[in-house]
Amino acid sequence: MTLEVVVTRVSSKRSAIVFAKELKIIHTTYTCPQCERLTKVRNSRSEDGYEFYCKCCRKLYNARVGSFLEVFKLPLRKLLMMLYLYATDILTWKVAERECQIGMELYTKFRARLRDVKGFHMLAHSTQIGGFGHQVQIDETCYGSAKYFTGSMLEMPEVWVTGGVEVASNKCFMKVVENKLAPTINALIINNVLRGTCIVTDMAKCYDQVTKLGMQYTHYSVNHKGKRFKDPRSGACTNRIEGVWMLTKTRTKKERGTKRGTLDAVLEEYLWTHHNKKKEAFSALLDTLHFRYPPQ
């Protein structure tokens, strides 16, 4: 779908409602949660032009009930526009302000809710990576250090993240870790990396016990200190995972640094994007919304 199509489809209040129904962002039918009977659709003077009415309970439900949009009071055409701009990575705060006349607070809420939806999706679709015959590069990185952020971004305390990438498929995992000690890292590896995987890391001490975890892992370590990023004997390197760090850091930088509490969510969002990169951006977002808010 192109921006042009979206602009046309949301040009009037009426057409925006038809469009939202077509995209299954709002429900076309609604079952009353109190009596479990199907409600009737009733035209109204409300913002969206109709409501659901339960004859039995004499209760009115807003057209957005049970949908992602339920908590937002903005006109539907603006919300649809924002969803499209968000999906295609155009939506920044400045764009939201200029194109949709949205304030910072609402913009933050909108993004945070979408991030939750993506996190929910990733949680349900998380898989372990690696396995016999597969190589997984594992590395740790620090967010919020002076090395990567300058100015206001220094406000964020140091947070360590450990992650891994399966070389053949590019599937990855990443998690915020409390510390870089072997027990923490070992538990993370066991939870995320399948038995028999060939694991490549740097020389950090926390990886010393990788082959002793009872998971039949093999282990190559690459010495970064000598500026030799490739092990001359095995050809093993950690370039792939370092590429992932670079991309996630660009993302957190774009969002003016990320508070510790939301870093996990940002990483999940990155993983979601990674997971969906072959899909058309808007339909990938719609699929994820439908997964969290099944259409009726």
Binding-site member from 57, 60, 65, 204 for Zn ion (CB under 5 A): 57
Q: Taking CB under 5 A as the rule, does residue 56 contact Zn ion?
A: yes
Query: Going by C-beta distance under 8 Å and a sequence separation of 6 or more, which residues neighbour residue 170?
Result: 240, 274
Shortest gap between Cβ of 58 and Zn ion (angstroms)? 8
Measured from the CB atom, the residue of 13 and 55 that comes closer to Zn ion is 55
Q: Taking CB under 5 A as the rule, does residue 60 contact Zn ion?
A: no
Shortest gap between Cβ of 59 and Zn ion (angstroms)? 6
Q: Taking CB under 5 A as the rule, does residue 34 contact Zn ion?
A: yes
Measured from the CB atom, the residue of 38 and 215 that comes closer to Zn ion is 38
Q: Taking CB under 5 A as the rule, does residue 213 contact Zn ion?
A: no
Measured from the CB atom, the residue of 32 and 182 that comes closer to Zn ion is 32
Region from 30-38, 136-144, 175-183, 210-218 binding Zn ion, contact rule CB under 5 A:
30-38
Region from 8-16, 57-65, 196-204, 276-284 binding Zn ion, contact rule CB under 5 A:
57-65
Shortest gap between Cβ of 27 and Zn ion (angstroms)? 15
Region from 52-60, 168-176, 252-260, 281-289 binding Zn ion, contact rule CB under 5 A:
52-60
Write out the residues near Zn ion by the rule CB under 5 A.
32, 34-35, 54, 56-57
